Amino acid sequence: MTLVRVAPLLTALIATQALAETSEAAPDYAARLLGDVGRGGLYQRGVDMEIVYKLDLVGKLSHGAHQGHLYALDNLDIKFTLDGARLFGGEGTRGLIYFLGNHGGKPALRNDRLPHGLDNIEVPAGADTFKLYQAWLERDMSDSLSIKAGLYDLNSEFYVTETSALFVHPTYGIGAELAGTGRNGPSIFPTTSLALRVNWHPAPQWSVQAAVLDGVPGDPDNPNGTHIQFNDGDGALQIMETAWLPGTGESRLGKLALGLWRYTRRFDDLVDLDAGGNPVQRHSQGFYLIGESRLAKNARGETWGFLRWGRNDGDTTQFESAWSGGLVWTGLISGRPEDQFGLTVSQENNGAKWLSASGNPVRKEQALEIAYRGAVNDWLTLQPFVQYLIDHGNDPTQNRSWWLGLRLEFNL
In the chain, where the domains are located: 52-411
Q: What is the average pLDDT score of the chain?
A: 89
Asked if residues 189 and 160 have their Cβ atoms less than 8 Å apart, the reply is no
pLDDT at 125: 72
pLDDT at 142: 96
Asked if residues 273 and 292 have their Cβ atoms less than 8 Å apart, the reply is no
pLDDT at 70: 83
pLDDT at 397: 62
pLDDT at 71: 86
Report the alpha-carbon angle 65-70-71, nearest 5. Answer: 100
For the whole prediction, is pTM greater than 0.85?
yes
Report the alpha-carbon angle 180-322-111, nearest 5. Answer: 50
Report the alpha-carbon angle 130-133-136, nearest 5. Answer: 145
| Spans of the chain, pLDDT less than 70 | 1-24, 63-68, 105-116, 392-398
Give the amino acid at 175: G
Beta-bridge mates of residue 396: none
CATH class of the region 52-411: mainly beta
The Cα 237–Cα 215 span in angstroms is 5
pLDDT at 7: 44
pLDDT at 3: 41
The Cα 238–Cα 257 span in angstroms is 17
Asked if residues 386 and 59 have their Cβ atoms less than 8 Å apart, the reply is no
